[in-house]
Structure 1
Amino acid sequence: MSDSTPSLTVAVRTGKGKGAARRARRDGQVPAVIYGHGADPQHLLLPKLELNTILRNYGLNAVIDLDIEGTKQLALARQVDVHPLRDYVEHVDFLLVRRGEKVIVDIPVIVEGIPMGGTLTVQEAGSVEVEVDALAIPENIVVDVENAAAGTIITAGDLNLPAGADLVTNAEYAIVAINEAKSASTAEEDAEAEAEADEAAAE
């Protein structure tokens, strides 16, 4: 994540319901809601192009300095709903945050490196939960499997978290496994054995 906090000028949304949301999207705006710290939820309209640029550059856990018709609010993009087929942002839930406040977020895990020959890298989890300063949320956490041997298991507790971040996910939770790659003949033998077991169970 960049050291700077992106800013976005937004409008208060008055129209409610699916029809109003569809009209907003046709006009190049994204419906959103902001809540937290005991404040009443506030419905907003965000400029689509500027929002997409921020999410692309800062990730789905972006903290944005929202200018809500002249009032500034720091907000974490808590949930970003993307259309499953058309791949556009349908709605955003924002959580009010304060400078110095810690938040719990899901951080994507990226696997890099090439393990030892004859192995297969299996990513068991795509993200982990961490508690971190709202203005220092990492875009991702990298796991290096360079030259890792078969049988290596990397757990959540093995991850290299940024300074000041605390792991929320169970430390023993498996993130990446380096397995021994099966040869074609071994895989065929396993398939035959499984088929025979299924036939025996059916008799």
Structure 2
Amino acid sequence: MAEVKISAELRKEFGKGAARRIRRANNIPGVIYGHGSEPIHVTMPGHALFLALKTPNVLIGLDIEGKNELVIPKAVQRDPLKGFIEHVDLLLVKRGEKVTVEVPVQTEGELAPGGNLLEHVLNALPVEAEATHIPESVTVSIAGLDAGHSILAKDVELPNGTVLAIEEDAVVLQVVAAQAEAPVEGAAEAEGAEG
């Protein structure tokens, strides 16, 4: 995964009013923590951060007033109605360090004919990987699977250097039989009354 470069400034004002002023200036407040260090409060350019966060578990090279830090997003708070980023928690990482992250699960192929449904029990798979080699996603083949089949965490093929951070027998995907629609109560009575 490529490293995204973003510049940041140290934040000196705190509280709701300060956060609102930061967001009005098209910036995003954030905090960096990890490695036992004191939290660092920063302000980052909103558009650059928004684009970077489109990639899950993106590795960000943050230039904080001349000091470079490697970080990954840990928590992103968004406005519940508009979806705007309101605040970001970032985790300090070092090259070669292992981190536990959730990687999106993608599927390929078609289920067996019959109108069955695919249930995503886990939309993201917890894995441990080197901070600079976090996979963007994992792909699972569902080709020809029929009702009753399940894909377990141990069945998911992971890139080299990546290991599961969840029980091997955890269900990731399962195929469920399509439910036949039951007649609506009262519909038959209404038809009888019409006749």
- TM-score for both structures, normalised by structure 1: 0.86
2:188 aligned with 1:188, yes or no?
A: no
1:116, CA displacement in angstroms?
A: 0.5
Per the alignment, residue 100 of structure 1 pairs with: 96
The one-letter amino acid of 1:7's match is K
1:114, CA displacement in angstroms?
A: 1.1
Q: How does 1:41-190 map to 2 (within 5 A)?
A: 41-56=39-54, 58-59=55-56, 61-118=57-114, 119-182=116-179, 184=180, 187-188=181-182
Partner SS for 1:78? strand
1:96, CA displacement in angstroms?
A: 0.8
After TM superposition, the runs of 4+ consecutive aligned structure 1 residues lying more than 3 A away are none
2-side partners of 1:13 and 1:120: how far apart? 49
1:179, CA displacement in angstroms?
A: 2.2
Which blocks of at least 5 consecutive residues in structure 1 are unaligned?
A: 193-203
- TM-score for both structures, normalised by structure 2: 0.89
The one-letter amino acid of 1:87's match is G
2-side partners of 1:5 and 1:123: how far apart? 30
1-side partners of 2:137 and 2:7: how far apart? 27
13, 16, 19: which one aligns with 2:14: 16
The one-letter amino acid of 1:36's match is G
1-side partners of 2:18 and 2:64: how far apart? 19
Per the alignment, residue 33 of structure 1 pairs with: 31
Larger % of helix: which?
1
- Measured on the aligned residues, the alpha-carbon RMSD in Å equals 1.5
2-side partners of 1:88 and 1:46: how far apart? 14
1:173, CA displacement in angstroms?
A: 1.1
The one-letter amino acid of 2:83's match is D
1-side partners of 2:61 and 2:182: how far apart? 57
1:150, CA displacement in angstroms?
A: 2.3
2-side partners of 1:79 and 1:10: how far apart? 18
Partner SS for 1:6? strand
Partner SS for 1:188? coil
1-side partners of 2:66 and 2:108: how far apart? 44
Matched pairs, number = 184
Per the alignment, residue 192 of structure 2 pairs with: none
Summarize deviations over 1:138-169 as a string: whole Å, max 9, x none. 12112210111222110111111111111011
The one-letter amino acid of 1:158's match is D
